[in-house]
Amino acid sequence: MLHSLCRNISILSLLMWSAFASGEEIRSFHDKPDLPTSEIKSGYEFLTRESRMLQSDDFANPGLLWVDRGEILFHEEGEHKSCASCHKGQGNYTLAGAAATFPKMVSGRLTNLEVQINHCRVERQRLVAFEYESEKQLSLTAYVASLSRGMPYQVSIVGDARPSFTKGRDYFFQRRGQLNLACTQCHDDNQGKLLRGDRISQGHPNAYPGYRLEWQTFGSLHRRIQDCDVGVKAAPFEAGSTTYIELELYLAWRAKHLLLESPGIRR
């Protein structure tokens, strides 16, 4: 009797101790260093051989269906001017390499490729903005991104982009959700290991917008980030939200010399 009472007390004190300890638990890892440049690997290298072959296939990559449609939309004109009428093949308005510079500050606002296309539609073409993640937006973004395929990221994180970059970086190192996990815990600390049947990648954005086998369709980077947030049981932000664009800036900077692969194939 006395023995069991003692045991109960010791269990209780253990519980109290752990409750105290959790009060000092690390909430954010923002002091952690970024992924070293020498270790950066594209998500492509974490794929199976078959998925890599699908991405590299100039015909069978299903993302090319969206690129094809985007090319049609790019040249489509009615009462409005087409995208192509300004962004001709050569000169100042060529879009080759443009996708690699986003997200960037455009008239004081952090803008990614999707938002920039909508800006062009509303301001220059006098059209209605695309709904985020709509088929037309995905197609046009896919086409514009495909013009930068094989080029390295060139984002700026200095000047007025600096505060956004810092917020995006903080998001990456902040624990969230019921599983209480930060992006960095999977994509820095446990990259290359198995999460169920999946090989954990470094979480680079260079395949997106891309085709994800799990979705059986084409999607944006923000949809992919939402899936990660849902995965750690956190409430995801809306696709196109400022928070995700800030994170996108950090991810693009973190990917450093990696080449854009859009339309990429991912699991």
Nearer to another protein, 38 or 216 (CB): 216
Tokens of 20: 């105290």
The answer to whether residue 228 is catalytic is: yes
Contact 237, 183 (CB under 8 A): no
In the complex, which residues of this chain contact another protein (CB under 8 A)?
59-60, 62, 64-66, 68-69, 216-217
CB of 146 to another protein, least distance (A): 14
Positive or negative torsion for Cα 196, 197, 202, 208: negative
Minimum distance of another protein from residue 142's CB (angstroms) = 11
Taking the C-alpha atoms of residue 205 and residue 217, their distance in angstroms, rounded to an integer, is 17
Contact partners, residue 130, CB within 8 Å, separation at least 6: 114, 117, 118, 121, 136, 137, 140
Residues 6 or more apart whose CB falls under 8 angstroms from that of 135 comprise 69
Tokens of 97: 């390499």
Find the shortest distance in angstroms from Cβ 79 to another protein: 20
- The rounded Cα 40 to chain-centroid distance in angstroms is 16
CA gap 252, 249 in Å, rounded: 5
Residue (45 or 76) nearer to another protein, CB: 76
Residues 180 and 178: their CA atoms lie apart, in Å, by 5
Q: How far is the CB of 72 from another protein (least distance, A)?
A: 8
Residue whose CB is less far from another protein, 64 or 98:
64
Instruction: Tell me whether residue 189 or residue 214 sits nearer to another protein (CB atom).
Output: 214
The CA-to-CA distance between both ends of the chain, in Å, stands at 57
Other C-beta atoms closer than 10 Å to the C-beta of 212 total: 20
Residue type, 5: L
Minimum distance of another protein from residue 211's CB (angstroms): 8
Q: Which of 6, 120, 186, 228 is catalytic?
A: 228
Nearer to another protein, 64 or 249 (CB): 64
Residue numbers annotated as active site? 228
